[in-house]
Amino acid sequence: MNRPTKALITVVLLAILGGALFWALRSTQQAQVASGQNPTLNLPGLRATQTVELSGLIALDVEPFFKDQRVLKFLADHGVKVNITRVGSRDMAQRVAATGGPDFMFPSGIVAANQIADAAKRANMSATQTTVFFTPMVIASWQPIANILQTNAMATSLQPSVYSVDFAKLVATMQAKTRWKDLKAKDAYDVNKSVLVSTTDVRKSNSAAMFMALAAYTMNNNELPTDRATAEALAKKVADLFKRQGYQENYVNGNFDDYVSIGIGKTPLAFIYENQMLTHALTKPLQPDMVLMYPKPTIVNKVVYVALNEKSKRLGELLAASPEMQAIGLDYGFRIADSGAFMQKAAAAKLNVQEKLNDLIDPPSFETMSLMIDVVTREMSQ
């Protein structure tokens, strides 16, 4: 792996985000150090003399990127041919196999990437994680809802159609089983339903796990759970916020699809990746009363490429370090180290976004996260 490039990206990011994203790259570096080797590699930009053929499992989130002709051509020019199969991120870890398994996996987020790395470790394989893109978790909502939350001191306006939402207050409101009709100035949404943020099914999806991490952090007085008992207790509380929603979509776009196509009547608040909204805005008409809410504190999803053998490492480098690939990532709504380029893309889509992400939290450790997901899974099946 070419450390200079990686380090450079880290520095740029640190400068932009005031250190908040340090963790996002730290684990990547650690994984690379752990794998302990750095064989000679073609630098990105140099043509490979030989074509390497790789098979990989990818998540729905990155499928359009991987099917982009520009990406395929770039990779071909650099001697990489990929055969991809789309599967759910959480189903990837079980497909890790020392022989006959895929060469790489590209799940939708860090939770699944860590599960894959863990599965690889148990299979005595070395897994190399490379963060390719990132995107913050946001709440897609509607202007009338934003107005209500603002009146009730849960949200503040940052710019037109963009709000900051006090996540601790919002979670407390959800836990108190407050109904929309109980809120002040509720006329635009005078509804018996409880205030709940809709998520996908945590048993299947990365984004719901990010919700869990963020909710648990705020429920725990802005601390990450570190011990088992605390993590279990928090997971049970979060499970309640999932269960009370009733049926949750169990594929990544399900929740966002409902937001876009059914709208405020079903999903007044939808917990999504920012890139889902930007991708939508880049390709489809935005409804005028759609708004984005950035939770405070917030959490960022890293889109992590996992190489499961030597020959697949290079693809990760090509994706993460070549400006061409990074620029194409913008077309799919992802953020990259070049924040200015991201802002230009959002402006082109006429989508207002928040450039600076303040008050970022880390997700809990892999072990804690796994434990909490297990607890929620158990609670949900009761």
Partner 1 sequence: MKFATLSVGALTRAASLALMAALVVACGKSEPPPKPTPKSTDAAPKSVATSTLNVLATSDLRDAQPLEAMVQKATGVTIKFTYGGTMESTEQVLTGKTTADAAWFANAKYLLSDPQGQTRVKLQEKIMLSPIVVGVSESEVARLGWTDTTKVTWKTVADAAKSGKLKYALSNPATSNQGYMALVGVVAASTQKSEALTAADIDRKAVADFLRGYKLVGDNSTYLSEKFYEQQGVYVNAFINYESWLLSMNQSGKLKEQLKLFYPREGIATADYPFMLLNDAKRGEYQKVVDYLKGEEAQSWLAKTTLRRPVNPAVASAVSFPGGTLIELPFSPDRGLADGLIDAYLNEFRRPIASTFVLDVSGSMNNHGRRGDLINALHSIAGADASLTGRLARLSSREKVWMLPFSDNPGKLTSFEFPPATSTANAQKKAEVLEQVRGYATGLEMKGGTALYDAILAALNAMSAEQAKNRSYQYSVIAFTDGESNQGRNFAQFKEAYAALPEDARAIPVFTVAFGEANDSLLKEIAKMSGGRSFDARKTPLPAVFKEIRAYQ
Binding positions for partner 1, rule: CB under 8 A: 85-87, 177, 179, 191-194, 196, 204, 243-247, 250-251, 253-254, 257-258, 260-266, 280, 284-285, 287, 381
Q: What angle do CA 303, 131, 319 make, to 5 degrees?
A: 95
| In the complex, least distance from residue 52 CB atom to partner 1, rounded to whole angstroms | 24
C-alpha dist (Å) from residue 359 to 19, 20, 21, 297? 10, 7, 10, 5
**Strand ranges, E, within the chain:** 52-58, 80-86, 104-106, 128-142, 155-159, 162-166, 270-273, 290-296, 298-307, 360-361
CB-wise, 104 or 259, nearer to partner 1? 259
**Spatial separation of the C-alpha atoms in residues 69 and 26, rounded to whole Å:** 32
| In the complex, least distance from residue 246 CB atom to partner 1, rounded to whole angstroms | 3
| In the complex, least distance from residue 112 CB atom to partner 1, rounded to whole angstroms | 16
CB-wise, 220 or 253, nearer to partner 1? 253
| In the complex, least distance from residue 348 CB atom to partner 1, rounded to whole angstroms | 18
Token pair 């970022």 is found at 360
CB-wise, 280 or 313, nearer to partner 1? 280
| In the complex, least distance from residue 111 CB atom to partner 1, rounded to whole angstroms | 18
Angle between helices 339-348 and 323-331 in degrees, nearest 10: 30
**Spatial separation of the C-alpha atoms in residues 167 and 263, rounded to whole Å:** 22
CB-wise, 73 or 251, nearer to partner 1? 251
- Tell me which DSSP letter residue 248 carries: -
| In the complex, least distance from residue 102 CB atom to partner 1, rounded to whole angstroms | 13
CB-wise, 12 or 87, nearer to partner 1? 87
CB-wise, 35 or 253, nearer to partner 1? 253
Q: How many other β-carbons are positioned within 10 Å of the β-carbon of residue 149?
A: 26
| In the complex, least distance from residue 130 CB atom to partner 1, rounded to whole angstroms | 26
| In the complex, least distance from residue 361 CB atom to partner 1, rounded to whole angstroms | 27
**Spatial separation of the C-alpha atoms in residues 91 and 99, rounded to whole Å:** 18
**Spatial separation of the C-alpha atoms in residues 65 and 371, rounded to whole Å:** 32
The answer to whether 366 and 129 have CB atoms below 8 angstroms apart is no
Which three-class secondary structure state does DSSP give residue 345? helix
Q: Which two tokens stand for residue 109?
A: 């987020």
Q: Which two tokens stand for residue 195?
A: 């205030």
CB-wise, 191 or 343, nearer to partner 1? 191
CB-wise, 244 or 350, nearer to partner 1? 244
